[in-house]
């Protein structure tokens, strides 16, 4: 391979063979030395070596056939749920592993055989393809320019201004039809970005038990997720709704809450914050109960839930919206309205 040929080029015989080139180089140090002389491979000289290469290629193609047979056989043999231990992959599906291995081998061996065939048996004589200038001949250029000038004169675009101006007008208006079509690609967002399912009197439902949350359930240091009552996981628009309405419920000693509004909107230290990051809307609930910090896993925005969910680090532009909560006559936690500001990332018309 290439490692062998570098020293060989420096052999005295080699330089003698290219004697002409050396002479020219003396005359003009920047002259094109031309292509190196073609040298044959062992397969070009020795028929036995060529036969050996042929056999290697044929063996690879044969192994590829066997691998294909193996693929079909493993598909038939292994049940879907059979798990086997294979070092270093661990406990893997026998079917997946054998299918991948045999199909991979079948394809790889075709490629490897073809490459070996090309490298050892097909002609390896370097063929130089000279480059030519790609520009047109001066006659053709002159003809094109003359034709263009003729056309411009005959159209009288410069003289008949009415035609020219109306044509520009028509061309400018045509794209408007496309813009109108774009407008109707979907309904306008309307208030969807500003409103969530939360409303006055909606109970907070624990997403683990699907039962309404009670204030005594929520202890200091705990973390619970809640959704509005009436929303069911099998609802068609469940994902759309929970993407805006998801809530984190935590409890902080009322004296530890630094933000006055947060304390007023809480119920005995139980605070409800939107779970949607105000940066690009990742679900954010990496809550550290000792510091009351919440970290967003996407871009490391950090919010201080004991201080009105103020942004203390990262790219988020707004604090997390807080939901005002209270207790209804049954003693369950309920919302006292929707979020005061849009949840999730900022948008153009957010204000």
Partner 1 sequence: MKKLSARRRHPLAAVVVLLLALAATGGLYAAFAPASKAQADDTAQSLAIDEGKKLYSVGCASCHGTGGQGTTDGPQLVGVGSAAVDFQVGTGRMPAQQPGAQVPKKKVIYSQAEIDQLAAYVASLGAGPVVPTKSQVSPEGADIAKGGDLFRTNCAQCHNFTGKGGALTNGKYAPDLDGVSPKHIYEAMLTGPQSMPSFPDSTMPEKQKRDIIAYVKTVNGSEAESPGGLSLGGLGPVSEGLFGWIFGLGGLIAVAIWVAAHTAKAKKS
Using CB under 8 A, count the residues that bind partner 1: 58
Q: Enumerate residues 6+ apart whose C-beta is below 8 A from 133.
A: none
Q: Smallest gap, in angstroms, from Cβ of residue 242 to partner 1?
A: 11
Reference 226, options 332, 298, 317, 309; nearest CA is 332
Q: Smallest gap, in angstroms, from Cβ of residue 287 to partner 1?
A: 5
**230, two tokens:** 């009436």
Binding flag, residue 280, partner 1 (CB under 8 A): no
Judging by DSSP bridges, how do beta strands 325-327 and 333-335 pair with one another? antiparallel
Q: For partner 1, which residue of 22, 65, 83, 146 counts as binding (CB under 8 A)?
A: 83
Binding flag, residue 98, partner 1 (CB under 8 A): no
Q: For partner 1, which residue of 34, 40, 151, 317 counts as binding (CB under 8 A)?
A: 40
Reference 271, options 238, 236, 306; nearest CA is 306
Q: Smallest gap, in angstroms, from Cβ of residue 325 to partner 1?
A: 15
Binding flag, residue 302, partner 1 (CB under 8 A): yes
Nearer to partner 1, 177 or 290 (CB): 290
Spatial separation of the C-alpha atoms in residues 343 and 272, rounded to whole Å? 13
Binding flag, residue 165, partner 1 (CB under 8 A): no
Binding flag, residue 96, partner 1 (CB under 8 A): yes
Label residues 209-222 b or e (16+ Cβ within 10 Å = b).
eeebbebebbeeee
Q: Smallest gap, in angstroms, from Cβ of residue 295 to partner 1?
A: 5
Q: For partner 1, which residue of 269, 283, 315, 326 counts as binding (CB under 8 A)?
A: 283
Give me the phi and psi of 110, to 5 degrees please: -60, -45
Q: Smallest gap, in angstroms, from Cβ of residue 112 to partner 1?
A: 9
Q: Smallest gap, in angstroms, from Cβ of residue 252 to partner 1?
A: 12
Q: For partner 1, which residue of 21, 24, 44, 68 counts as binding (CB under 8 A)?
A: 44
**C-alpha dihedral, 179 to 184 to 190 to 195, nearest 10°:** -120
Binding flag, residue 208, partner 1 (CB under 8 A): yes
**183, two tokens:** 């407008």
Reference 274, options 325, 219, 328, 326; nearest CA is 325
Spatial separation of the C-alpha atoms in residues 285 and 226, rounded to whole Å? 12
Binding flag, residue 89, partner 1 (CB under 8 A): yes
Footprint of partner 1 on 124-153 (CB under 8 A):
124
Largest CA distance in the chain: 107
Binding footprint of partner 1 on the chain (CB under 8 A): 1-2, 4-5, 8, 11, 13, 39-42, 44-46, 83, 89-93, 96-97, 100, 115, 119-120, 124, 206-209, 213-214, 216-219, 221-225, 250, 283-291, 293, 295, 297, 300, 302, 313
């Amino acid at each position: 391979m290439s490692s062998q040929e570098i020293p060989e080029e420096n052999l005295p015989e080699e330089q003698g063979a290219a004697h002409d080139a050396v002479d020219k180089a003396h005359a003009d140090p920047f002259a094109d030395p031309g292509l190196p002389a073609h040298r044959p491979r062992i397969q070009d000289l020795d028929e036995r070596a060529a036969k050996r290469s042929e056999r290697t290629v044929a063996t690879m193609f044969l192994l590829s056939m066997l691998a294909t047979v193996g693929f079909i056989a493993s598909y038939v043999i292994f049940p879907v749920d059979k798990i086997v231990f294979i070092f270093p992959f661990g406990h893997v599906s026998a079917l997946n592993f054998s299918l991948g291995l045999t199909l991979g081998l079948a394809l790889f061996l075709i490629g490897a055989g073809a490459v070996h065939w090309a490298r050892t048996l097909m002609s390896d004589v370097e063929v130089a393809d000279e480059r030519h200038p790609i520009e047109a001949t001066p006659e053709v250029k002159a003809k094109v320019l003359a034709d263009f000038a003729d056309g411009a004169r005959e159209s009288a675009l410069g003289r008949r201004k009415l035609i020219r101006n109306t044509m520009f007008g028509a061309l400018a208006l045509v794209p408007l039809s496309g813009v109108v079509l774009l407008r109707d690609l979907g309904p306008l967002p309307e208030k969807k970005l500003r409103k969530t399912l939360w409303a006055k009197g909606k109970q907070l439902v624990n997403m683990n038990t699907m039962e309404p949350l009670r204030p005594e359930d929520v202890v200091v240091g705990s973390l619970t997720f809640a959704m509005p009552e009436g929303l069911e996981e099998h609802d068609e628009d469940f994902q759309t709704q929970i993407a805006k309405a998801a809530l984190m419920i935590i409890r902080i000693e009322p004296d530890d809450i630094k933000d006055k509004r947060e304390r007023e909107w809480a119920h005995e230290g139980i605070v409800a914050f939107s779970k949607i990051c105000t940066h690009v809307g990742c679900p954010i609930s990496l809550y550290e109960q000792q510091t009351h910090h919440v970290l967003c896993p996407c871009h490391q925005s950090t919010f201080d839930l004991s201080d009105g969910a103020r942004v203390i680090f990262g790219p988020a532009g707004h604090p997390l919206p807080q939901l005002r909560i209270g207790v209804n006559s049954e003693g369950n936690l309920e919302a006292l309205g929707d979020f005061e500001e849009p949840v999730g990332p900022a948008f153009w018309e957010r204000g």
